[in-house]
A and B are shown apart, each in its own frame.
Chain A
């Protein structure tokens, strides 16, 4: 029950990992405790730095929308994504087509 998981190529021990996590967390908390203790909640120390601009009232005006996440990744792979989105047409007859095509290709490979 408590033993390691052997994969045939190495092993995994969750308890060593948890021990390591615990020691690391203790170290982090210890380092944090060495920091400045003059922080006061509710003062100007609390204020958000928003690129020297005024902080908007509503969170809606300052969040990064999901559509903007990983834009560089998507832009770099634009040809790949263009073809992928084209395949995902949402048309039911296309779904049937891919199914029949897969059956046909695999039938040729298996029967030959």
Chain B
């Protein structure tokens, strides 16, 4: 039997094993615990990349849990699926690969970053539970399981954000996130209840095949859209992000960037694959576009005035999520019009999906460099930092690469995805592209401020003993730097082999439905 058919299950089983065996690994001391964390992270990433390669070659992978046959989606005599089904198309596999790379970088960074703290077996257990939740949200083909994985990810993030529980700010950030996250989870559960009540199914493909817009479906759509945009950090429900991203340990913040993408994945899976052509009116696409524009502008203008480096970067996260919402909102707007899709919709979707990987890599790297500054200089306050480029040359170099990429400076990868977004959104409404361009300028201004105040300037006597961060933290940052450079130098390859298949899978609602409803055979 070809073991690769089990890749979708392995993607979830490996980090789950990592989580539950962490306390046992912790008994072996620091070396065993660190080795376990590195091993599980590397294996999870490798399996995700293998799954991506398999899906790109063979097409959508379907994996039925508990069936006598792994691809037996429709049991005899039934016309809808009843078991837990993992459904991995090019978009799911792409998102899982992106998330797993962020998790790998965050794990390596955390090995040294967290070394001076106690309770690290709990840290690694929660870290891998968060990874499992994130990957589960991206691979499941089932609405209720999406909710379950969302909750696994949420509960793990509450613990990780409040990991430094002696800091009142960390506990407060976690508590606020818990309140808003639990509320949104309840709305998602109610939405799933509406759909289950109407169609007697929770499988996305099965519901999508039967879905007709009525009041229940519309209310479910509203609940899902608002909850998932909140979880991804979109304006006006973004207020939890600066608190949570700033207070979580840096390696966790890097992973949280990937987890926010899992919520975006859920949003677009709901809009494109579950509702798709049934969406009807342009209210939802325009809502997503408006949220995107507001997120871009409000996020970046709030970032400009921040003095705490991680809060500044967290507001930039809100801003970058805005680009992705704008681009995929435009794609959704063009979904029912083949001419519009050919003219600008598909370009916008390519730009948006390319921006997902770009954003995860450079934003993850920026949070890690902020963590490196905190680790070495003991401060996140930009008013106190300064002159650190002399003593932290590698961190400085990687910060410059990430800052240039997020600001969309050519030739970096951020420029390519933003170019696609500017040009395609201009075709819909020129003001959208203008706001996106202004946001990019303000992003550059904001990171020039960080670079000038933290890295440049005269040496400060209080930082006389500061040195470069340990090797494992540099490895964590280097992983993301290498990916950014590869994406920068090979944008055509990335677009053709990773982004376009993902965009095609997302717009192909019929293909998504038939992968399960065709029996999987």
Contacts and interface: CB of A to CB of B under 8 A. Distances in A.
Interface in B440-454: 445, 449-450, 452-453
11 contacts: A12-B415, A57-B461, A66-B382, A66-B453, A67-B307, A69-B453, A88-B302, A95-B179, A102-B226, A103-B226, A110-B284
A28 interface: no
A60 B420 CA distance: 43
Interface string A1-22: 1111101111010100110010
Interface stretch (B60-68, B264-272, B486-494): B486-494
Nearest to A88: B239
B180 interface: yes
B237 interface: yes
Main secondary structure of the interface of B (DSSP, over half): helix
B36 to A, nearest CB: 36
A99 B225 CA distance: 11
Interface of B: 175-176, 179-180, 183-184, 187, 215, 218-219, 221-223, 225-226, 230, 236-237, 239-240, 242-243, 281, 283-284, 287, 298, 301-302, 304-305, 307, 343-344, 347, 382-383, 386-387, 410-411, 415-416, 419-420, 423-424, 426-427, 445, 449-450, 452-453, 457-462, 488-493, 495
Given A84-B298, A110-B283, A111-B215, A96 B179 contact: yes
Interface size for chain A: under 10, 10 to 19, 20 to 34, or 35 or more residues?
A: 35 or more
B239 A5 contact: no
Interface string A53-77: 0000111101111110110011001
A80 interface: yes
B305 A109 contact: no
Contacts of B240: 95
B449 A98 contact: no
Max chain B C-beta neighbours (<10 A), residue from A2, A70, A81: A70
B381 to A, nearest CB: 8
A92 interface: yes
B237 A99 contact: yes
Contacts of A111: 215, 218-219
Contacts of A87: 236
Main secondary structure of the interface of A (DSSP, over half): helix
A2 B459 CA distance: 43
Contact of B287 (A69, A77, A106): A106
Contact of A74 (B304, B426, B450, B492): B304
Given A59-B460, A103-B222, A111-B219, A90 B180 contact: no
A5 B183 contact: no
Contacts of A64: 452-453, 457
A16 to B, nearest CB: 9
Contact of A109 (B237, B287, B383): B287
Contacts of B223: 103
Contacts of A59: 386-387, 457-461
Given A12-B419, A88-B302, 7 more contacts: A9-B426, A14-B411, A63-B458, A80-B301, A96-B179, A99-B226, A111-B215
